[in-house]
Chains A and B, each alone.
Chain A
Amino acid sequence: MYDVYKIRKQFPMLTNNIKMQNKPLTFLDNCSTTFKPQCVIDAMNEYYTKYTSNSHRGDYDLSVNADTKIEEARKEIASLVNSEVNEVVFTTGATGALNLVAYGYGLKYLKKGDEIILSVAEHASNVLPWFRIAELTGATIKYVEIVNGRILAENLRKVISNKTKIVSLAHVGNVLGYVADIKEFAKIAHEYGAIMVCDGAQSVPHIKTDFKDLDVDFLAFSAHKMCGPTGVGALVGKYELLQKMDPFTTGGGMNSVFKKDGTVDYRLPPYKFEAGTLDVAGIIGFGRAVKFIKEIGIDNIHKHDQELIDYALEKLKDYKDIIIYNKDARNGILTFNIKGVFPQDEATLMNYKGIAIRSGEHCAKLLDNYLDTKATCRMSTYLYTTKEEIDVFVDAIINGGDILDAYFN
């Protein structure tokens, strides 16, 4: 039995009577980031209060302890996404992971005339690194057409060719929340000898994301969107590709030998990509967050997200002034506009009522032409969101009052 109230008790942000605009906080911007349970905070604090030391450095017990904890976190993450443990590279987040593939693999193997396939719904972090690589190598960017918010395999087939070297797409889009058939896309990419990069920032926290089953070559995601700390994430990559790939940053901890004549022996992946002192506390928190997610069960989380969106849709079904762009996504994301109201103004009104939602382009600045609107409001749930919070949200939509109430009450 999924007991959301019991789950909430573990989150200080939900039990500390946090207020916004002097009203109880209703946090519905979980696509942006998520709250952290006490166990994650404690795990990180323990590193700072009980066994602080550098990893991969010391010959003493404390340092070995930090190493052990990092490797435990790596195991947790590998088990969540079903990869080998040595296929998990720690990064600064999904952005760091996508940049690592772009510079480590793309820059090494792409040349003039090669093609990279993206979609217009991609987040900036899965667009801009590829723009840079295209600029540096002379490769060109192609886009898969989006139909009703979705990327279809048949449309990927329309743009892919033997020139395609990389296909990089989100598993779940951060604006509309549709789940893409990444497994099929990977199959198509491989038919053409291209590699498949999957931006899992919005999928790994919400739905089962099986690295081996999807057969993608790289999978990128962030800890902070799944109850973990900010500033840490992972790139999961097929081991043979990680071996071929160049490091993006070099320095301590990632080499085994280097000499005056410039020769260097790098360590094996994943360590080859983890130069410098890692965010040890962050990685430990990441591992603990993944354990927390696994204890609740990713399928239960997904079901909970779906139920909340269904509930919101049911409550809003007779309200004529709302335009919903993704009614059938049911994946914890509701993207909408209120007729005649500028999205930012709606978000300000929500803020005034203590509700956190996001308005704007949600970092997917190529998408506006396809939605027939430049910007939208986005409400997003997570494992601790309650129906009562959806009630507060729906009430604000329907009985929201004037957008200037926020300024004059």
Chain B
Amino acid sequence: MPTLTNDMMRSIIMDHYSDPQNKHQPPKEGYEKVHMHSDNCIDDLDIFLLVKDNIIVDACFDGTACTISTSSTDIMCDLLRGKEINEGRKIIDAFFKMMHEEEFDADLLDEAIVFINTSKQAARIRCATIGWNAAEEILKDK
């Protein structure tokens, strides 16, 4: 993937925060939901995945959240949509590795790479990962 400058990364985060395409209630029945809220802040989100025949058919979310959690969850929904469950798990795993400054496969993360600096703001790691934790939870028993 092309190298993103800081300005490009900033605008990707802001785009996904100001106009999150995946922030809505599920359009139809059949989605699995996990509710996430943080003890310390007010992030309060529902994450919805529609999983069918080993494929994550759709992903969306709704609720109240800060810039980082909204943007990160929105990007995650884009990334997971259409992936096989195992691929989805690999993407989530790569994201967690990036958060904790471990080696990770950047190709898997696509736009989610914009959160690479989150570890500089340790208090915000939970914001960046809140949606990802929910998706991991839904996929856990698949």
The interface of chain A, by Cβ under 8 A from chain B, is 21, 342-345, 348, 351-352, 359-361, 374-375, 402-404, 406-408
Contacts and interface: CB of A to CB of B under 8 A. Distances in A.
Contact of A352 (B9, B40, B41, B121): B121
A402 B14 CA distance: 11
Contact of A403 (B41, B42, B43, B67): B67
Contact of A407 (B40, B43, B120): B120
Contact of B121 (A348, A360, A374): A348
Given A408-B9, A408-B117, 15 more contacts: A21-B120, A344-B41, A344-B43, A344-B124, A348-B66, A348-B124, A351-B121, A352-B121, A360-B42, A374-B64, A403-B67, A404-B10, A406-B120, A407-B120, A407-B121
B73 interface: no
Nearest to A342: B66
Given A344-B127, A348-B123, A402-B10, A407 B118 contact: yes
Contacts of B123: 348, 351
B121 A344 contact: no
Nearest to B116: A407
A243 B109 CA distance: 64
Interface of B: 6, 9-10, 13-14, 40-43, 64-68, 117-118, 120-121, 123-124, 127
A344 B66 contact: yes
Contacts of A343: 42
Contacts of B65: 342
Nearest to B6: A408
B76 to A, nearest CB: 17
Given A404-B10, A406-B121, A408-B6, A345 B67 contact: yes
Contacts of B66: 342, 344-345, 348
B67 A404 contact: yes
Nearest to B114: A407
Contacts of A360: 40-42
16 contacts: A21-B120, A342-B66, A342-B67, A344-B43, A344-B127, A348-B66, A348-B68, A348-B121, A348-B124, A351-B121, A359-B41, A360-B41, A361-B42, A374-B42, A404-B10, A408-B10
Given A374-B64, A407-B118, A344 B10 contact: no
Nearest to B43: A344
B66 to A, nearest CB: 4
A57 B64 CA distance: 54
A346 to B, nearest CB: 10
Interface centre among A344, A359, A375, A408 (most CB of B within 10 A): A344
